[in-house]
A and B are shown apart, each in its own frame.
Chain A
Amino acid sequence: MPKVKVPRKSTNIDMTAMCDVAFLLLSFFILATKTKPPEVLTVETPSSVSTRVVPEKDVVLISIDHEGRVFFSLSDNNKEQKLAIIESIDKARNLGLTDAQKKAFGKSNSFIGVPFSQLGSFLLTPADDLKKIKMDGIPVTDSINNQLVDWMLAAKSAFEGKKMELLVKGDNNSKYPAFQGTIAAFKRNDLMKFSMITNPEGVPTGSELSKANRVKSAAAK
Chain B
Amino acid sequence: MAEMDTSSGGGHHKKGPGVKKSKKLSTRVDLTPMVDLGFLLITFFIFTTTMSQPTAMHLGLPKDTEKPEEQNKVKESGVLTLLLGKADVIYYYEGQLAPDAGNLKTTGFKDIRDVILTKKKSTNPSDFVVVIKPDKESRYKNVVDILDEMLINDVKRYATVDISDVEFMVVQKTQEAAGIK
Give A contacts to B, CB under 8 Å. Answer: 10, 12, 14-16, 18-19, 22-23, 25-26, 29-30, 32-34, 45-55, 64, 167, 170-180, 183, 186-187, 192-201, 203-204, 207-209, 212
Contacts and interface: CB of A to CB of B under 8 A. Distances in A.
Given A176-B134, A208-B152, A200 B55 contact: yes
B141 A18 contact: no
A47 B140 CA distance: 11
A176 B153 CA distance: 23
Residue of A29, A64, A203 with most chain B CB atoms under a 10 A cut-off: A29
B102 interface: no
Contacts of B59: 193-196
A16 B152 contact: no
A53 B53 contact: yes
Given A16-B31, A29-B49, A180-B162, 17 more contacts: A15-B32, A19-B38, A22-B38, A29-B45, A45-B54, A46-B145, A54-B53, A55-B56, A167-B56, A175-B136, A196-B59, A197-B55, A199-B54, A200-B52, A207-B152, A208-B152, A209-B152
- In terms of DSSP, what is the predominant structure of the interface of chain B? mixed
A175 B53 contact: no
A61 B47 CA distance: 27
Most buried by B among A32, A199, A208, A212: A208
A141 to B, nearest CB: 9
B74 interface: no
A16 B2 contact: yes
Contact of B140 (A29, A179, A212): A179
B63 interface: yes
Given A25-B42, A175-B137, A14 B144 contact: no
B151 A52 contact: no
Contacts of A212: 154
A50 B42 contact: no
Interface string B57-69: 1111111100000
Interface in B25-44: 28, 30-32, 34-35, 38-39, 41-42
A30 B153 contact: no
B60 A193 contact: yes
Contacts of A207: 113, 152-153
B38 A186 contact: no
Contacts of A200: 52-55
Contacts of B64: 187
A48 B144 contact: yes
Given A22-B39, A50-B56, A176 B140 contact: yes
Given A22-B35, A48-B147, A198-B144, A192 B56 contact: no
Contacts of A45: 54
B7 to A, nearest CB: 14
Given A14-B3, A183-B61, A199-B54, A48 B148 contact: yes
21 contacts: A14-B3, A15-B34, A19-B35, A22-B34, A29-B42, A29-B46, A50-B148, A52-B57, A54-B55, A171-B140, A174-B140, A175-B139, A176-B84, A180-B162, A183-B61, A183-B160, A192-B61, A194-B58, A197-B54, A207-B113, A209-B151
